[in-house]
Chain A
Amino acid sequence: MSILVGKATKVIVQGLGRTGRFHTDKAIAYGTRIVGAVHPSRAGEVEVFEGDTDHSGVPGRPDTYRVEVPIFRSVVDAMAATGADASVVYVPPPFAADAIMEAADAGMPLVITITEGIPVADMVVAKRYLEGRDTRLVGPNCPGVITPRECKIGIMPGYIHAPGRVGVVSRSGTLTYEAVYQLTQNGLGQTTAVGIGGDPVNGTDFVDVLRSFNDDPATEGVIMIGEIGGTAEEEAAAWIAANMTKPVAGFIAGTTAPPGKRMGHAGAIISGGKGTAAAKIEALEAAGVVMAPTPTDMGQAMAEALERA
């Protein structure tokens, strides 16, 4: 079992530029079912992906692949023709929010947005548009979602993952890789790893993912990785204290970040004394989360939390 994506997930790609094409190829090599793409001026064409498969994906597959991905003019057309139930957005920042709304209008159940640098005002509008619709948005500005050996949607390196017992949810891409790699090395593995993204306005938040992991029978524990800025970690802590039945390990980046400065991610800023790492760590510890003192200790913290439970 897993959350959000799995073996059966059929994915279309919105934004088949250089970046989109590169990662679509990697996803297919991993074994992801990429069934179509949306590109208005190339509708009717077919993009061919071929190469050697990535053996960190589904075992027992042939060594090479050749996949013809049909291109459609709109998400509606792509869904009708392919039965896709997830889309991944690589559309450039000025047009990305519109791509999200187009997917929502088409009724796409899951929209994973990788694009970094979308104007905040555009995301405010997109999030408003999603209200009352059944679309789940993950991201933007995130590495994506992966269920090891089943489905990889996004830009994460596939081979560091291994199927297992732990769910991972994170605001940071590279810190997700650190956590995942440690879980692969210490044998715990992952059920699903979800990057929720580093932007101040995003779709799925910590609580959404924690709830899904809590309900997923295969997930035995969760690693949650946060960073300075906003209050999403504090809200997650409150939810964990009230509802979580599985052990949680955590890490918060930005203990040494100076106030008022944006630390790379648009959402990573401490303003007016709010959003500090200290406040987040305190809230999570109070909720019973086992905090890793350094990122190198995330896998170990999860192992300890699982032992205690």
Chain B
Amino acid sequence: MKIHEYQAKALMKERGITVPEGRVATTVDEAVAAVRPLIESTGNPVVVLKSQIHAGGRGKGRFKEHPDVGGVNVVTAGVEGGIEAAEEAVRTLATKMLGSTLVTVQTGPEGKKVNRLYVEQGIDIAEELYLSVLLDRAISRNVVMASTEGGTEIEVVAAETPDKILREPIDPAFGLLPFQAKRVAWSLGLDGDAHRNGVAFLTALTKAAVELDTDLVEINPLVVTTDGAVMALDGKMSFEANALYRHPDVVGLRDLTEEDPEELEAKEHGLSFIKLDGTIGCMVNGAGLAMATMDIIKYFGGEPANFLDVGGGANVDQITAAFKIITKDPDVKGIFVNIFGGIMRCDTIAEGVVAAVEEVGLTVPLVVRLEGTNVELGKQIIDGSGLNVVSAADMKDGANKIVELAG
């Protein structure tokens, strides 16, 4: 689960991690009202206006409606013109940004509507660094990843200059030990006050990662200011889905407008669904088989419209819900139901399919492949339903048939 930058920074601040001062705004007036207290409390006449969307690449992103405006804007009008000039500049920018569509490398061409702005104090940056805490699957432990190449995507650094990334594994029995924090801070070139501040930052950050069950905390850039402070200029946090039950406060930060409505609806029914760009809807039991079903459709020249795993114990209601979600997509020209019933019995699936088709209606070809427990009974139910359903002998046959029928 992802959250916004301003939310991540609030969580960090609560845990003693240094972040710039800022205020969130959902209206132009709120954005303008944030300027004076920020400038007065920090003494810095520069403020920064940052679009709050879950996708990255905001700085280089541009608004569809205002191609001259970027997703992140440094407002320097206050340096010469004072607080009033800063407020006026923020008003002009915020009017263009709020409610407009920001397109970044991560949003796709359709972009993402900006509903919130974060107004933040300007920072006198001496250095930009990189820091993150995430799971290293190869060693089954969290690692701190640190690099002097701040402000650049870490994937790019990893590909071009891998020796510039330090990885410090965290033993879950001990946490990040003091000597490790010092080592990371030295590797970032920090000394004196900055080294002390860096060690404190690292210690608090790794503690927060464990405490909050994050699957990623990324500080890019981590900045050293001209007076030796170390702070998170940007902050990204995402949370491990299986552990959300023990963090109701974090769940409360969820912004549903950032999530796909069909994926959310599917989740409510206990289904795992991901929308894709193709024309053949899939309904499958098991995640691996669901992926393989997408692959086999592509193998025979079709394009899957979705990933949909109904899980190991789906009932008639879930199957009906799955059908509704699939058929809602106007691009879907055919549906392939691919079930290997182990725990799940084929007659249950067949009853679900028949009930769903009777309720939702069927305007596109439907191919059903059933295998496993009670398969004969399942086939009888499908064949006896009088519905226009094509049976498949196996997965390959089914994929072939649906690609042909969906044309």
Contacts and interface: CB of A to CB of B under 8 A. Distances in A.
Contacts of B399: 294
B371 A181 contact: yes
A269 to B, nearest CB: 10
Contacts, number: 171
A124 B292 CA distance: 29
Interface in A28-75: none
Contacts of B155: 272-273
A128 B173 contact: yes
A253 B295 contact: yes
B139 to A, nearest CB: 9
Interface stretch (A9-17, A81-89, A105-113, A154-162): A154-162
Contacts of B142: 124
B286 A172 contact: yes
B288 A201 contact: no
A123 B289 contact: no
Contacts of A198: 287-288
A156 B309 CA distance: 17
B172 A294 contact: no
Nearest to A268: B287
A288 interface: no
Contact of B274 (A94, A160, A263): A263
Contact of B395 (A258, A265, A294): A294
Contacts of A157: 341-343, 372-373
B137 interface: yes
A294 B296 contact: yes
B287 A156 contact: no
A175 B215 CA distance: 27
Nearest to A231: B138
B307 A257 contact: yes
Contacts of B331: none
A177 B372 contact: yes
B309 A264 contact: yes
B272 A201 contact: no
A175 B288 contact: yes
Contacts of A293: 299
A138 interface: no
Contacts of A94: 245-246
Interface stretch (A212-220, A222-230, A240-248): A222-230
Interface string A243-271: 00000000101111110011111111000
Contacts of A171: 288
Query: Counting chain B CB atoms within 10 Å of each CB, which of A159, A160, A254, A261 scores highest?
Result: A254
A143 B172 CA distance: 28
Interface stretch (B222-230, B236-244, B379-387): B236-244
A117 interface: yes
A107 B246 CA distance: 30
Given A128-B173, A266-B241, A296-B394, A174 B286 contact: yes
B322 to A, nearest CB: 13
A173 B342 CA distance: 10
Given A257-B294, A266-B242, A296-B394, A172 B288 contact: yes
B291 interface: yes
B307 A155 contact: no
B298 A256 contact: yes
A125 interface: yes
Contacts of A264: 272, 286-288, 290-291, 307, 309
B288 A231 contact: no
**4 nearest CB pairs, A to B:** A172-B288, A264-B287, A174-B286, A174-B289
25 contacts: A120-B240, A121-B240, A143-B342, A172-B288, A172-B289, A172-B292, A173-B286, A177-B372, A178-B340, A181-B340, A181-B371, A227-B291, A232-B137, A254-B291, A254-B292, A254-B295, A258-B276, A261-B274, A263-B274, A263-B287, A263-B291, A264-B287, A266-B242, A268-B291, A295-B296
